[in-house]
Amino acid sequence: DAKTTQPPSMDCAEGRAANLPCNHSTISGNEYVYWYRQIHSQGPQYIIHGLKNNETNEMASLIITEDRKSSTLILPHATLRDTAVYYCIVRESPFYGQNFVFGPGTRLSVLP
């Protein structure tokens, strides 16, 4: 599986967009980019995933560069409840039972 690199922490002002970067320079053609988040002490929560096109859902947008070597998760209007650790994961899809490798992620702090 491709390795991902994320900044250890970021701050964002409440109401502003939070842009979380992820580098995955060794990604292969059949690997997807997934984003999960973990709010303190809770189980990780799925946010979004994509292959090459930009994706948007009710929670966030995912922007993947044309060469697919990096991506950005965008929370358009961050709230205090978005304070969490955000994990970028690269994995084939569908994955027939294999695990996701959760690295240390980015700790996002949304400030009032």
Partner 1 sequence: NAGVTQTPKFRVLKTGQSMTLLCAQDMNHEYMYWYRQDPGMGLRLIHYSVGEGTTAKGEVPDGYNVSRLKKQNFLLGLESAAPSQTSVYFCASSLLNTQYFGPGTRLTVL
Residues binding partner 1 (CB under 8 A): 32, 34, 36, 41-46, 49, 87, 93-105
Residue 28 or 45 having the CB closest to partner 1: 45
Residues 6+ apart with CB under 8 A from 32: 49, 50, 51, 90, 91, 92, 93
Look at the alpha carbons of 87, 6, 96, 60 in this order and tell me if their dihedral is positive or negative: positive
Residue 12 or 33 having the CB closest to partner 1: 33
Distance of closest approach, residue 31 Cβ to partner 1, in angstroms:
12
Distance of closest approach, residue 112 Cβ to partner 1, in angstroms:
25
**Cα(85)–Cα(36) distance, rounded to whole angstroms?**
8
Q: Report the SS3 class of residue 80.
A: helix
Residue 15 or 56 having the CB closest to partner 1: 56
Residue 14 or 61 having the CB closest to partner 1: 61
Distance of closest approach, residue 76 Cβ to partner 1, in angstroms:
21
